[in-house]
Structure 1
Amino acid sequence: MAQSTAAPAPTRGHPKGLYLLFTTEMWERMSYYGMRALLVLYMVGATDKGGFGWSQAKALQIFGIYTGLVYATPVFGGFLADRYLGQRLSVTLGGILMMLGQFVLAMPGNSEPLFYTGLGLLVVGNGFFKPNISTMVGGLYAPGDPRRDGAFTIFYIGINVGAFLASAVCGTLGEKFGWMYGFGSAGVGMGLGVLVFLALGKRMLGNVGLAPKPVERKAGASAAPAAALTREERDRVIVILVLALFVVFFWAAFEQAGGLMNLYTDAKVDRGVFGWEVPTTWFQAVNPIFIMLLGPIFAEMWTGLGRRSKDPSIPAKMAMGLLLVSFGFVFMLGASKQSEAAGKAALMWVVAAYFFHTAGELCLSPVGLSMVTKLAPTRYASALMGVWFIANAVANYLAGLIGGYAEKLGEFSLFLAITVATAVAGAVLLALAPMLKRMMHGADETKPVVAEQSATDAEQVKPQVA
């Protein structure tokens, strides 16, 4: 199998290390989403309130460059972890750099050099942190363990708990009391995550994520070239790249939530509830809330199906995600028809769309993270996780371009185009699923977790390499 493992594997539930990684990721996501919620507002904010007072166009351009770099740097962070640092040290280093970046942004005044320095620290820190903590989740499980997909769903809940806390804590402090308090609270959250990770990592993670051991060779001998990929490894890498292509379709549609759907909700949705108008920004919390509600159900469902050897293949699950996000946009078609006829659409159209988008996300995103840890050759595991995140970078860029056509085509036509494109992509992926499954060469097959495998949480699983 592709992933080295050296973590405890209890017969019931999940290794304790999963919950440490869950907590660390939760604090990091609070830090990231807290800063993201404030960044554009800070750049366009009035200078007398501590902002830069820049134009919206300039602020969005800088924001786009920043988010693109955030999703690009994990390739380099993953490579350094695979070759030299190990995932555990990389996560620690990344967390510290991001904490420092938040504190630099929180410094009083609006100095542009400090602002760009803070963003640079966040970009580099994320490059070390993001691919490696996800890879470590896979390292907690032996090859064929049916709990792996469920574990990534639990881990994914941590991401969204952090996203929810970001709006509740960092956003509120930043808007109500001052930008520096919002950025500062994000830095404190990241610092807490690093402290917890350092305090409990050795005891709860075993050997998972330690630096790779150097290859010993005789004096005077030249360095041996890296072993070429086997045929099975090449096939598995091809599967990762093919699925990454389909993931672009998913995220380009899903990320309309922060752009086109957000603007549509603000202008054309009746947000009144019992005489009170729900703030538009609160709709951004609907997805994290649904993740927290549905995540445990999906985690148990994947694990239960795996125990009975009825778990759908990874490509099939991801095809389901595309079909569900397509179905979610059907509700946006209904909303646009109603707003054209009556001026405003009912609030529940948007909530229903977010519900199905979230269900699709749970079929695709955590399963995709799990898939990379199953298929990637161990010596390239974190680097390929970084490649996986590049698909998000491309999709985020495309999401902005696609959303911009709403003014020319109208919301209904654009929602219809997104509905059809994601449905077709889902159907094509479903048709390709059997072939892709064969190319995995058994990497996604699950095996029962035997009691003898872990008489105690301290027993270690032997590393295995495809």
Structure 2
Amino acid sequence: MAQSTAVPTPTRGHPKGLYLLFTTEMWERMSYYGMRALLVLYMVGATNNGGFGWSQAKALQIYGIYTGLVYATPVIGGFLADRYLGQRLSVTLGGILMMFGQFVLAMPGNSEALFYGGLGLLVVGNGFFKPNISTMVGGLYAPGDARRDGAFTIFYIGINLGAFLASAVCGTLGEKFGWGWGFGSAGVGMGLGVLVFLAFGNKLLGNVGKSPTQVARTKGPEQAAPAAALTRAEVDRIIVILVLALFVVFFWAAFEQAGGLMNLYTDTKVDRSVFGWEVPTTWFQAVNPIFIMLLGPIFAELWTGLGRRSKDPSIPAKMAMGLLLVSLGFVFMLGASKQSEAAGKAALMWVVAAYFFHTAGELCLSPVGLSMVTKLAPTRFASALMGVWFIANAVANYLAGLIGGYAEKMGEFDLFLAIAVATAAAGAVLLALAPMLKRMMHGADETKPVADEPTTGSQAQVA
């Protein structure tokens, strides 16, 4: 295993580098979710208002392809970081490319060439950025550190603080003042993230992420030959990553209806009036991040506290809970669909309740999954396997667009029912498989008792 070079930190606190990565990811997610909140509305928008005037089905198909590619390219970005660039340079390069991508989308003229060019820059930039910043969070902690799942939940709060800013800033500017203002503000947010990362990286991250892991691992007494065969335990752990990735496809294909079908449904079939004022559609994209910020600290403390007492549920069990909770969220969308069919509009609280349970499920699955990859992946393939993990998101986002498009053919109620049943079934199967998958981790997910004395960065290894 390669040694982490994280700066010293008390074992009950968190490294300051975590909060730098938190802030950088916050600005990047503000950029991504700001653009995402506007994307389908922009594509179906009237041409005399700057939109493309495309059909809902075409817009959702393009949305699914784009978001799928966003989560597919991290495999390549992770490989290049592991082999050649290092995680820190990759994050910087990715952030700069995404900033330019947003500015290209903001250019006037309603040009399809600029539209697809901007999306392309965002896809490539995200490939460099996404897997490497997540892997660097894991690099701050030693194997068995009970704080790791909690750290990823804190990191996840940063993601969703950015998503909240996206709806409040980018969504409002895009809906009220023009699409270019929304996309442009997303580019400014990404630029701020890059500046913060460059300004404080050396001070707060030490050497974490500076060198490619396949170069760094040749330094020190614990090195193995770069071409050394994987051990049986390493193979089993990789299999666990792949199996769990299959199940999270079900979760994200359901969850990502938020940016597509649920976004369009809220726009046309939900009564958004509050005390006589109509809430902008894009503001509903902020409901999930608000719940993340409220519930995230509770989940972070819950996982850390249970870990210290060796009572933490297994990673597969947590993910199964996430699937069951997202299924429950779609039960509320069934209520919304029934009401909108009968009365013309559904009460907004149906949608808010759905987002609440989707958020609780997300906190059981997504940050835990990121933490899991850093625990199970062999160090020399850490960023690449993080990219593989995001392939599940790629497949799910593409499927989300296809699934959402069926709403026009089969109706929202039947589609919401199918999603609820599929995710509940997947959750039940994963819960049944959880004991076997835990055994295949060979103890990599087990936590160790923590002490109050500091742990030096030179002693911390990346799992």
TM-score normalised according to structure 1 size: 0.89
Contact map agreement 2:91 2:133 (CA 8 A) in 1 = yes
Contact map agreement 2:82 2:213 (CA 8 A) in 1 = no
Contact map agreement 1:3 1:373 (CA 8 A) in 2 = no
Distance 1:326 1:118, change over 3 A: closer
Contact map agreement 1:28 1:162 (CA 8 A) in 2 = yes
Q: Distance in 1 between matches of 2:186 and 2:146?
A: 35
Q: Distance in 2 between matches of 1:423 and 1:218?
A: 46
> Deviation of residue 93 (structure 1)?
1.1
> Deviation of residue 33 (structure 1)?
1.7
Q: Greater shift after overlay, 278-287 or 296-305?
A: 278-287
Ranges in structure 1 where 5+ consecutive residues have no aligned partner: none
Deviations 1:32-91 (A, max 9, x none): 122233344445556666555666666555444322221111000000001111111110
Q: Distance in 1 between matches of 2:205 and 2:238?
A: 27
Q: Greater shift after overlay, 239-248 or 101-110?
A: 101-110
Q: Greater shift after overlay, 417-426 or 205-214?
A: 205-214
Contact map agreement 1:232 1:440 (CA 8 A) in 2 = yes
TM-score normalised according to structure 2 size: 0.90
Distance 1:363 1:175, change over 3 A: same
Distance 1:102 1:412, change over 3 A: closer
Q: Distance in 2 between matches of 1:151 and 1:286?
A: 23
Contact map agreement 1:3 1:143 (CA 8 A) in 2 = no
Q: Identify the residue that residue 395 of structure 2 maps to in structure 1.
A: 394
Deviations 1:203-249 (A, max 9, x none): 111221121377699999x9976222110010000000000011011
Distance 1:260 1:177, change over 3 A: closer
> Deviation of residue 392 (structure 1)?
0.9
**Percent of pairs with identical residues:** 91
| Secondary structure of 2:190 counterpart | helix
> Deviation of residue 105 (structure 1)?
3.0
Distance 1:103 1:329, change over 3 A: closer
Deviations 1:255-301 (A, max 9, x none): 22233333433444333333434333322221111111111111111
Contact map agreement 2:149 2:368 (CA 8 A) in 1 = yes
Q: Greater shift after overlay, 210-219 or 433-442?
A: 210-219
Q: Distance in 2 between matches of 1:131 and 1:389?
A: 8
Distance 1:458 1:218, change over 3 A: closer
Q: Greater shift after overlay, 343-352 or 311-320?
A: 343-352
Deviations 1:172-209 (A, max 9, x none): 23333343333322222111111111111111112211
Distance 1:434 1:204, change over 3 A: same
Q: Distance in 1 between matches of 2:218 and 2:156?
A: 45
Distance 1:398 1:103, change over 3 A: closer
Q: Greater shift after overlay, 405-414 or 77-86?
A: 405-414
Matched residues, number:
459
Q: Identify the residue that residue 36 of structure 2 maps to in structure 1.
A: 36
Ranges in structure 2 where 5+ consecutive residues have no aligned partner: none
Distance 1:415 1:379, change over 3 A: same
Distance 1:176 1:75, change over 3 A: same
> Deviation of residue 123 (structure 1)?
1.6
Distance 1:178 1:385, change over 3 A: same
Q: Distance in 1 between matches of 2:411 and 2:72?
A: 32
Counterparts of 1:231-250 in structure 2 under 5 Å? 231-250=232-251
Aligned CA-pair RMSD? 3.2
Q: Distance in 2 between matches of 1:443 and 1:432?
A: 17
> Deviation of residue 348 (structure 1)?
2.0
Deviations 1:2-48 (A, max 9, x none): 98563433223211001000000011111112223334444555666
Q: Distance in 2 between matches of 1:180 and 1:457?
A: 48
Deviations 1:342-380 (A, max 9, x none): 444333222111111110000001101111111111111
> Deviation of residue 96 (structure 1)?
1.4
